[in-house]
């Protein structure tokens, strides 16, 4: 492999993995949410008229609270991907 080809391959790979990362995280959050979070309420609760959660930090607190209630014991990074999933999909808060 020539030098230029090699460089192209390295650049190409980093572009691909860079582009795929957010998608992987988004689907992790979605999967975790499907698995742990739909026993007591469905998605409708996130868009109800008088939502409990009004800010991004409050969303984080609520997800941790409900993680406890669910007995899911998610890791910090799993919690973060659920928080980001809910924020992207429903709440759309500006991240502080």
Which of 8, 13, 15, 45 touches ligand HEC (CB under 6 A)? 45
Q: Is 46 in the site for ligand HEC (CB under 6 A)?
A: yes
CB atoms within 10 A of CB 72: 17
Minimum Å distance from CB 49 to ligand HEC?
9
Task: Indicate the angle between helix axes 76-86 and 56-70, nearest 10 degrees.
Answer: 120
Q: Select the residue interacting with ligand HEC from 62, 80, 89, 93 (CB under 6 A).
A: 62
Closest listed residue to residue 52, CA positions, set 65, 39, 38: 65
Residue 82, SS3?
A: helix
Which residues of this protein are in contact with ligand HEC, per CB under 6 A?
A: 33, 36-37, 39-41, 45-46, 48, 51-53, 59, 62-63, 66-67, 69-70, 72, 82, 86
């Amino acid at each position: 492999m020539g030098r230029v080809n090699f460089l192209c391959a390295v650049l190409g790979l980093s572009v691909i993995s860079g582009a795929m990362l957010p998608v992987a995280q988004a689907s992790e959050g979605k999967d975790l949410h499907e698995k742990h979070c739909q026993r007591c309420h469905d998605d409708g609760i996130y868009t109800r008229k008088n939502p409990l959660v009004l800010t991004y930090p409050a969303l984080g607190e609520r997800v941790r609270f409900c993680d406890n209630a669910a007995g899911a014991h998610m890791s910090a990074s799993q919690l973060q991907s659920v928080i980001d999933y809910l924020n992207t999909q429903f709440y759309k808060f500006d991240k502080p």
